Amino acid sequence: MPVEDGLRGLTAIMPSIEDLYRDLHANPELAYAEHRTAAIVAARLRGDGYTVTEGVGGTGVVGVLRNGDGPRVMLRADMDALPVAEKTGLAYASTVTATTESGEIVPVMHACGHDVHVSCLLGAANLLAGSRRSWSGTVVAVFQPAEEGRGGARRMLDDNLLDLTGLPSVVLGQHVFPYPAGTIGYRTGPFLAASDGYDIRLFGRGAHGSRPESGVDPVVLASAVVMRLQTIVAREVAANEQAVLTVGALHAGTAPNIIADHADLKLSVRTYDREVSARVLASVRRVVEAECAASGSPKPPEFVELFRFTPTINDPAATEIAMAALRAELGPESVREVPPMMGSEDFGEFGDAAGAPSVFWALGCVDPAEYAAAEAAGRLDELIPSNHSPLFAPVIQPTIGTGIRALVAAATAWLGHRR
């Protein structure tokens, strides 16, 4: 269908979508606790005529709109927020706290823009439902829980998502990034990295702080492990390969005069190539086990996998179709190729499981004037907050309007046309 048919109602729905965004931002929910968000999503989809299934993969919501014969287009948004204390100063900033599964009370913030994703997809779903006379096929709107390292995509798939939706012809998605609002960033082939997360427990032997000789100090052991791990990327990964190894958390002990009996590390490894991932992870295990042996650890370390993301790889042919549609809608100057990113997503799980091509793009969300000033000063990293920052605050417009237009334009490129 002509994309203008699908976007004809955009101006009329925008106030409602903007209000929805502010509400979602002020009321974030952690992974698998997105009950309020899911209820809002389900109600809006039903109001637009979608067949809705709730509770998919925990708190996921799936809306299916069948409109005759034609391609089946899957559009995906994620819903979960992060345990971050918001510092944006926005009038609609989150003051929410939540209790984690371990009983810890944490602040909660949409520090990665998933509230934008939900708002954009609900807006696109509404417009596509309102333009059914112009297209044929099936629109599948997937609202995923627990993208932030908790395996939400896999849980939805394991909960028979594809039986509910049928196999898609293409899977489309987007994610806000700190690029100028009103622009789209894309890349053919590898776009986001594979990521593996592990919780590693190192065992010492507890003792009094005055008698270190009677124990095995896991703090010293953990310090040695952290420093030695840094040599893996520096000395074991070739210059033409890319990998990032991050120890994001280290905890040991409870008091200054007690030698603890264990230390816990949380680390992640990111690469664009699963073979490189395998080599780096094998090196991590070798280093950790060797340092434990060198320290006289009383038992081998324990490794618990926290998450495993495949790389996000954009299908070349499908990417060209989608980006041609976005260039036509937004203007060629607003759609640009960007370098691959070391961030990770589980979006690729859907296309992989369905055997369907997938396309994922970056949606700019920074005030263009602020971005230009920071870029001119050579201070982008310093002045423009990134995803997961407590200062991350997408500008509502033109971010959301662009996101809705992008989803409708890309979906339209596959859906059948009615005359």
CATH of domain 3-193+311-417: 3.40.630.10
Measuring CA to CA, which residue among 251, 89, 255, 55 is closest to residue 164? 55
Segment of 305-309, 320-324, 340-344 carrying the highest mean pLDDT:
320-324
Residue 162, C-beta contacts closer than 8 angstroms, at least 6 positions apart = 353, 354
Indicate the pairing of strand 60-67 with strand 51-56.
antiparallel
Can you state the angle between helices 35-47 and 114-130, rounded to 10 degrees? Answer: 10
pLDDT value at residue 245: 96
Q: pLDDT band at 7, cuts 50/70/90?
A: confident
Beta bridge partners of 74: 140, 171
Which of 3-17, 69-83, 159-173, 351-365 is predicted least confidently?
3-17
Q: What is the mean pLDDT of residues 285-291?
A: 98
Cα torsion through 102, 104, 106, 112, rounded to 10: -20
Mean confidence (pLDDT) of the chain = 95
Calpha distance 369→149 (Å, rounded): 33
Residue 330, C-beta contacts closer than 8 angstroms, at least 6 positions apart = 182, 184, 402, 405, 406, 409
User: Measured on CA atoms in the order 169, 127, 76, 38, is the torsion positive or negative?
Assistant: negative
Rounded percentage of the chain residues whose pLDDT exceeds 70: 98
* Region label for 86, one of left (φ > 0), alpha (ψ between -120 and 50) or beta (otherwise): beta
Q: What is the mean pLDDT of residues 147-161?
A: 92
pLDDT value at residue 2: 62
Distances (CA, A) of 143 to 120, 192, 275: 11, 20, 31
pLDDT value at residue 102: 81
Q: What is the mean pLDDT of residues 77-102?
A: 96
The architecture that CATH gives domain 194-308 is 2-Layer Sandwich (3.30)
Is a pLDDT exceeding 70 seen at residue 1?
no
112 has binding-site annotation = yes
289 has binding-site annotation = no
Q: Determine phi and psi for 329, rounding to 5 degrees.
A: -80, -45
Query: Per residue, what are the HEC states of 52-102?
Result: EEEEECCCEEEEEEEECCCCEEEEEEECCCECCCCCCCCCCCCCCEEECCC
Calpha distance 69→413 (Å, rounded): 15
Calpha distance 173→212 (Å, rounded): 54
Domain ranges of the chain: 3-193+311-417, 194-308
Per-position DSSP letters for 143-154, written without gaps between them: EES-TTTS-HHH
pLDDT value at residue 150: 80
Q: What is the pLDDT of residues 114-127, one digit of tens each?
A: 999 999 999 999 99
pLDDT value at residue 418: 59
Instruction: Find how far residue 160's CA is from the centre of its chain.
Output: 21
365 has binding-site annotation = no
208 has binding-site annotation = no
pLDDT value at residue 419: 54
Calpha distance 41→35 (Å, rounded): 10
pLDDT value at residue 55: 98
DSSP state at residue 214 = G
What SS3 state is found at 265? strand
Q: What is the pLDDT of residues 186-245, one digit of tens each?
A: 999 999 998 999 999 999 999 999 999 999 999 999 999 999 999 999 999 998 899 999
Q: What is the pLDDT of residues 294-303, one digit of tens each?
A: 999 999 999 9
Q: Which two tokens stand for residue 396?
A: 């509502």
Is a pLDDT exceeding 80 seen at residue 46?
yes
pLDDT value at residue 224: 97
Calpha distance 287→264 (Å, rounded): 15
